Amino acid sequence: MELLIATRNPGKLKEIKQALKNLPHKIIDLSQTNIPPDFDILETGKTFKANAILKARGFGKKSQLLTFADDSGLAIDYLNGFPGVNSARFAQKDFKTAMQKILKKLTNIPKEKRLAKFVSVLAIYNPQTKKIHTITGECHGWINFKPKGNHGFGYDPIFLSKDLNKTFGEASLKEKNKISHRAKTLAQLKEYLSQTKIK
């Protein structure tokens, strides 16, 4: 059975394919479908869950394939959860500038008040049954005082992982895929797909 990964983010796609490589499903991405490159789903939801469902259902209906999408972002306690569901929109593809803006907002704020978490909500949609299933994962840490490392993507260089004691930018993909928010949702997805008979 084919499983469509509904994302055009190359960094996210690489992480997902790495994490799901042992599934019996044939993992395909949007470039392997007949969906036009300019087809997109507006993320109008106010929560990660709502946006994940919108994307999974939208691409699933368009492709008629078993489809999953995730919506994820960075939530900073001191900034009342900002940038949250607007993480990608705030960056506008320029994460280097976005990280500097965040660090400026946290000028002179000590480590204990720089608590943050990455959140990932994954939705899987079956166009045959029209059923949808969601999974949530979180990864906790702090906002580092400066970007460190060149690995990963997005806000990874400023997220100091509590589990790794280094930023995601310093971590290898293998290290990140053991403890990240998305790794947690993907592990649950593998379990769900192995235990659920999806017609």
- Backbone phi, then psi, for 78, in 5-degree steps? -60, -25
CA 129 to chain centre: 25
The mean pLDDT of the chain is 93
pLDDT at 198 exceeding the cut of 70: no
User: What value does the mean pLDDT take over residues 133-158?
Assistant: 96
Residue linked to tokens 């499983």: 3
For residue 118, the enclosing domain spans 2-195
pLDDT at 196 exceeding the cut of 80: no
Residue 12: its pLDDT value, please? 83
Into how many domains does the chain fold? 1
pLDDT at 113 exceeding the cut of 80: yes
71: annotated active-site residue: yes
pLDDT, one tens digit per residue, over 41-85 is 999 999 999 999 999 999 999 999 999 999 999 999 999 999 999
pLDDT, one tens digit per residue, over 12-26 is 888 888 888 888 888
pLDDT at 154 exceeding the cut of 90: yes
Residue 199: its pLDDT value, please? 44
- Reported as a pLDDT band with limits 50, 70 and 90, residue 90 is very high
Q: Residue 88 carries which side chain, given as an amino acid letter?
A: A
User: What value does the mean pLDDT take over residues 105-122?
Assistant: 97
In the chain, % of residues over pLDDT 90: 78
Q: Three-state DSSP class for 10?
A: helix
Strand partners, 26: 2
CA 43 to chain centre: 14
Question: Per the confidence metrics, is the pTM higher than 0.75?
Answer: yes
- Which CATH number is 87's domain given? 3.90.950.10
Q: Residue 163 carries which side chain, given as an amino acid letter?
A: D
Residue 79: its pLDDT value, please? 98
Q: Three-state DSSP class for 44?
A: coil
Length reported for the chain: 199
Residue 185: its pLDDT value, please? 92
Residue 173: its pLDDT value, please? 87
Round to whole Å and give the CA distance between 79 and 83: 8
Helices and strands (H and E) in the chain: how many: 6, 7
pLDDT, one tens digit per residue, over 181-194 is 988 998 898 888 88
Give the dihedral of Cα atoms 106, 108, 111, 115; nearest 10 deg: -20
Q: Which of 71, 77, 94, 156 is catalytic?
A: 71
The tokens for 64 are: 């008629």
- Reported as a pLDDT band with limits 50, 70 and 90, residue 197 is low
